[in-house]
Structure 1
Amino acid sequence: MHRFGTNKSIMTLAIGLTIGLGCRDKPAPSPTTNLKSSKNTNITTAPTVEPKKQTDHKYTNRLIKEKSPYLLQHAHNPVDWFPWGKEAFDKAKKEDKPVFLSVGYSTCHWCHVMERESFENEEVGALLNKHFICVKLDREERPDIDKIYMTFVQATTGGGGWPMSVFMTPDQKPFFGGTYFRKPDFMNLCERVNQLWNDKEMRPKLEGDADRVSAELAKISAGKPSPDAKLYQGMITNAVEQIKSTYDSRFGGFGRAPKFPRPSEPILVLWQSARSKDKDGIEMVTNTCDQMVAGGIYDQIGGGFARYSVDEKWLVPHFEKMLYDNAQLIHLYLDAYLVSGEEKHANVVHDIIRYLKRDMTHKDGGWYSAEDADSEGQEGKFYCWTKKQLEEILTEKEAKLAIDYFGITEKGNFEDHSHPDPLKNLNVLSIVDSKITDEEKTMLITIKKKMDTARNKRIRPHLDDKILSSWNGLMLGAIARASAVLNEDEYLAIAEKNYTAILKELWDPKTKTMYHRWRDGERDSVQLFDAYAFQLDGTLHLYEATLKAKYLEQAVTLADRMIELFYDKENGGFWQGTGNTGLIMRVKEDYDGAMPSANSVAALALLKLHKTTENKKYRECARSTLLLFSDRMEKQGSAVPYLLQALDFYLHEPYRVVVAGNPEDKEFQNALHEVHNQYQPNRVVIGNHGPVEEFAKKQTPEENGSPLVYVCSGSACQIPTIDPKKFKSYLKPSPPKSQIPEDED
């Protein structure tokens, strides 16, 4: 395996140190090589964080003035933390000290562990304060900075995760990094770094390594398309076969434990399998959906999915719940519902949205970021049950059903052995016996209500209540689509309220600026590509769910501003940040991990916008993005499944479905629902008002004011109809005619 070379002075830092633990996403393959995943420690052996006692604070640092929940968690550490910014690096230059950067997020279990063991420890604090300028960063607030240094950690160690620990020069160039360190190892590491930094012979070598690695990372991150880059169907086919080869036929899912839902994978497999009528591929995805929702990764009482499962059975989750996971899973279960026709898949969508509405929504309509895995200092305590606890709140008959249905045992299936006084006999709820009678189904509703009432008396996990425009954009698209597919007016109201809230708090109409984070009445000043790309995606879904012209107009504004700020006209693709951020490099993200990359989302959204508005600029920007990452799609297709969805949309002529009429009319809305109730990813839905009015009216002459549906492919349209059976027959999932203009490829 290729890694960046490092001299012996730096490599000795790693001797005897544990750097493989941490809260993880599936590691992204390097643009030049597959990076080795770090070994993950099972949740049941993870150190447990003791609950913090409410006392007068002995220490208060600069983080107390921040808005990030993660930074505020560290505001009373004895470490003299700085937030990322000019002040910290100016001080490092003035005092000639290296910078220690610690990156995490507020719902990260291992971040809590390292804080408790090291950052709350006065001895460690004194060591850090003496030798380093210490910077804390919330990766969710600044994914652009996180990406730079995570790329370094992955390239030099073979793995990554959070908390991320990086030592760098005062000009931001990293020379050593890892993830979680136990206290003795961390103190030893700090001493060794200090020795090297102050060694007249070793320091030039250390700084030279930092310069060289930073230059190499910048070169890789920028990227240039191959002069002979091609875009072809085989890229998609090969990736789908690669993903399918990792399918777990026993427990569902793709890959081994720890298992991540990573929805962009099954969504791509389902898309291609439905088109080719591959029953095996369809079964893989629907079975995966069924296995996940029956497992402990799904909250059987409150709804919503946890981040991942530590085992192959989807039984024991890493309990934190993320907004972005649940947004993508709504799309996956909507797809499964449209393909299978089974209400059980739609019911999962209803449950996720109920969870979102109840636990993750600000009063003005914005959506919070995440819920922690820990409560009262222990992971999973809020979600797990003993047999005795169930027997205390349920009748004898109810308890017997619950014990059988959820697989409850006296011994339990989850225990934290590392805690000095571990919680004994705990059970993670999963569906073990789903074959129950109608009478038992009714009883189960009562059981869940009683369990929910009892659980709500417990201390809840920490809520990360910052509102991110990027993650809200992902969920906006999911809720808007759910409203159209499931014909739920309430969901549309939720989506429109969120859209209004984000425009109010994070959008500046005068400068056409979409800011990244809002919390506690204040927004940040950061502009990120992710915010524009994900908001563009969400707004397009909202337009297609309503066909209200104002949403398409906003989508056009977002797309134009996104291209202006982030598009690389020379080499294609989009930079993650603007050019004036003061960082050591600009990066272009393409890996579709726990979240799809913004380049992938933007490529598909721009292709849809081109098909909707006929503005060729959008297609050209999407095409250049695909060409930039063509080598990745060809050689490591399973790393970019969402980008391959965009490639599929590019390679095949998509349907254009025009619904003519008044969007406020109920008959129009019913017709629109029927359009969305057909599984056909390669299509756009447009109205005959707003930016598309000229095109639409050429295709859709007025006919007595009644709504009509026109299904068009290329320049030809089918006979208009209001009959769902007819226009559904026009939208068959068989492959449309391939469209690859000769002058482009």
Structure 2
Amino acid sequence: MPVNQDFLLRYYARTGEAKALAMAVTTLEQMSKGGIYDHIGGGFARYSVDDEWRIPHFEKMLYDNAQLSVNYLEAYRATGAPRFSRTAKETLEYVMRDMTHPEGGFYSAEDADSLPPDAAADAHKSEGAFYLWTADEIDAVLGSTAGEVFRYRYGVEEGGNAPEDPHGEFTEKNILYEAYSLPETAKKFGRTEGEIKRLLRVSRGKLLEARAKRPRPSLDDKILASWNGLMLSGFAKAYQILEEPRYLAVAQKTARFLESRLYDAKKNLLYHRWRDGERKIAGMADDYAFVIQGLLDLYEADFDPRWLFWAESLADRLQSDFFDEGGGYYMTAAGEGEHLLVRVMEDSDNVEPAASSVAASVLLRLAHMAGRDDLRKAAEKTLTRFGGQMERAPRSLPGMLSAVADAAGKPRQIVIVGGLEEPETIEMLRLVNRRPMPARALMVLTPKGRGELEKRLPQLKGMGPIGGKPTAYLCVNFACALPTTDVAKVAEMLAQDSKVPNRGE
């Protein structure tokens, strides 16, 4: 599950343990090669029914693709391997193309079943029909020469390639997967890897265009605050790590959509879902926790204080409505759902992380950014409440285990004072964003935004530019080392404070 990969990547970043990284990246690499990944249009199916990632259940869920996009970005940050950045980009491209409302929110899911190509409108829908190909269909689109190369690379066989077909829906059909590597394909056809790469890129584009003419799977077009919070994190982190402005634009549009369509500012109330202009159902704990997480990630991408302050307001509502004094967060607010016999508190990180796990993590982040000791204490109470379970069954709460490690570590803040357009500021941010660094808060005091931040966060007062140049402050609990304007010195200080190398070192 994505939560397990996230735990391993964060554990590696914290400890430098190579085995943890190897487990995460091996899994991610094999998933991106398998049939669970859409090699034509990007994005991941919900799960695989075999142990080689070959046969997916073809439903595509927003929450899976949100979490996996972050994991592939973090794998790229840790290794610099192009496969991981490419998979993240293709997944984000899928979400932008097929899962995005014109106003900015993200739809929930695409069904697994659809009408087979050229079938009558009243025909029976079948699993994966939109994604499956016969060898002849591929050659009809690509021609025999390019088709032969493509079929070799992606394991296409004349009689179909499904290792198992319990319901008889894959007869003579092919589920695309990487059967042979790029070097193997180049050697097979006597071409350079560059030539093969270009041919395959063009081929995938042609097949995507052809596939778009098929009957599409049904779209679940409701927009959920919680899942949109997860996807907001994906696009915000993509901008931080890949530095592509369009990802930031999508993240900002998503936050504005959540603010205008799923939030009542007067009541400081988040709603759970929006569809066709109607918002309904008071937000639940995971809505608040996941949106707070997305807003903090967006703040660390564009450094607009409004996202940080909104996250803090939502955290206050999360505390007032969902927190149990013994620690942890109920799914429903006090006073909501009077018909329920009990208020439920999730106790496992599953296909989605538990609300209490994400809440503990984001409250620690906010405590480190805003100096909110009350939020730190709430997070620690939550970790204490689940401590016995984590000791007995640690695999049930990998997300919360990461929060435990964050709480046990020293709260680090990196504050850069300078304009976002200044080359030194850009390079300092690049140094921070290239290196896996859990449990750190990143803030930028810009000429435009510093006054508002200093008013709300007095611990930032006195942090100014030295000699009018962008200046970095590296702090532990806001006790800071000597500030520096030297980019090389910043790199040296970050390296000293990290267990893992910077990408490219």
TM over 0.5: yes
Partner residue, 2:122: none
Q: 1:466-545 maps to which residues of 2 (within 5 A)?
A: 466-545=222-301
Which of 79, 83, 88 is residue 349 of structure 1 equivalent to? 88
Q: Distance in 2 between matches of 1:722 and 1:330?
A: 34
Work out whether residues 160 and 170 of structure 2, in 8 Å CA contact, stay in contact via their aligned partners in 1.
no
* Aligned-residue RMSD, C-alpha: 1.9
Partner residue, 2:167: 418
Partner residue, 1:578: 333
Work out whether residues 412 and 426 of structure 1, in 8 Å CA contact, stay in contact via their aligned partners in 2.
yes
**Which shifted more, 654-663 or 598-607?**
654-663
Give deviations 1:542-564, integer Å, cap 9, x for gaps.
Answer: 11112211111111111111101
Which of 197, 212, 216 is residue 441 of structure 1 equivalent to? 197
Cα distance change, pair 533–277 in 1 and its aligned pair in 2 (3 A): closer
Q: Distance in 2 between matches of 1:357 and 1:666?
A: 30
Opposite residue 478 of structure 1, the aligned amino acid is: G
Q: Distance in 2 between matches of 1:723 and 1:295?
A: 45
Partner residue, 2:129: 381
Partner SS for 1:525: strand
Q: Distance in 2 between matches of 1:370 and 1:292?
A: 20
Larger Rg: 1 or 2? Answer: 1
Q: Distance in 1 between matches of 2:486 and 2:216?
A: 50
Q: Distance in 2 between matches of 1:664 and 1:460?
A: 43
Partner residue, 1:77: none
Residue 264 of structure 1: CA displacement?
A: 1.6
2:143 aligned with 1:409, yes or no? no
Cα distance change, pair 499–274 in 1 and its aligned pair in 2 (3 A): closer
Partner SS for 2:197: helix
Residue 491 of structure 1: CA displacement?
A: 0.7
Partner residue, 2:141: 393
Opposite residue 579 of structure 1, the aligned amino acid is: A
Which of 53, 66, 71 is residue 314 of structure 1 equivalent to? 53
Partner residue, 1:635: 392
Cα distance change, pair 373–659 in 1 and its aligned pair in 2 (3 A): same
Give deviations 1:674-713, integer Å, cap 9, x for gaps.
Answer: 3212111121102333345522233x22324432222112
Partner residue, 2:190: none
Partner residue, 1:549: 305
Unaligned runs of 5+ in 2: 116-124, 187-192, 501-505
Opposite residue 331 of structure 2, the aligned amino acid is: Q
Partner residue, 2:470: 707
Q: Distance in 2 between matches of 1:481 and 1:311?
A: 31
Which of 300, 305, 319 is residue 39 of structure 2 equivalent to? 300
Work out whether residues 671 and 722 of structure 1, in 8 Å CA contact, stay in contact via their aligned partners in 2.
no
Partner SS for 1:313: coil
Residue 734 of structure 1: CA displacement?
A: 4.4
Residue 333 of structure 1: CA displacement?
A: 1.0
Partner residue, 1:229: none
Q: Distance in 2 between matches of 1:532 and 1:702?
A: 35
Partner residue, 2:109: 370
Opposite residue 712 of structure 1, the aligned amino acid is: C
Opposite residue 474 of structure 2, the aligned amino acid is: V
Which of 648, 665, 671 is residue 428 of structure 2 equivalent to? 671
Q: Count residues with an aligned counterpart.
A: 471
Partner SS for 1:523: strand
Partner residue, 1:36: none
Give deviations 1:414-442, integer Å, cap 9, x for gaps.
Answer: 375536xx552111100111123211111
Residue 724 of structure 1: CA displacement?
A: 4.6
Opposite residue 702 of structure 1, the aligned amino acid is: P
2:460 aligned with 1:696, yes or no? yes
Residue 671 of structure 1: CA displacement?
A: 3.2
Cα distance change, pair 728–372 in 1 and its aligned pair in 2 (3 A): farther
Residue 411 of structure 1: CA displacement?
A: 1.9
Q: Distance in 1 between matches of 2:39 and 2:488?
A: 37
Partner residue, 2:358: 601
Give deviations 1:126-169, integer Å, cap 9, x for gaps.
Answer: xxxxxxxxxxxxxxxxxxxxxxxxxxxxxxxxxxxxxxxxxxxx
Q: Distance in 1 between matches of 2:429 and 2:374?
A: 28
Residue 667 of structure 1: CA displacement?
A: 5.1
Unaligned runs of 5+ in 1: 1-261, 737-745
Q: Distance in 2 between matches of 1:611 and 1:330?
A: 26
Cα distance change, pair 440–552 in 1 and its aligned pair in 2 (3 A): same
Work out whether residues 675 and 724 of structure 1, in 8 Å CA contact, stay in contact via their aligned partners in 2.
no
Work out whether residues 680 and 731 of structure 1, in 8 Å CA contact, stay in contact via their aligned partners in 2.
no
Q: Distance in 1 between matches of 2:245 and 2:485?
A: 21
Partner residue, 2:370: 613
Q: Distance in 1 between matches of 2:211 and 2:469?
A: 51
Partner residue, 1:283: 22
Partner SS for 1:515: strand
The share of aligned pairs that are identical, in percent, is 39
Opposite residue 463 of structure 1, the aligned amino acid is: L
Q: 1:321-332 maps to which residues of 2 (within 5 A)?
A: 321-332=60-71
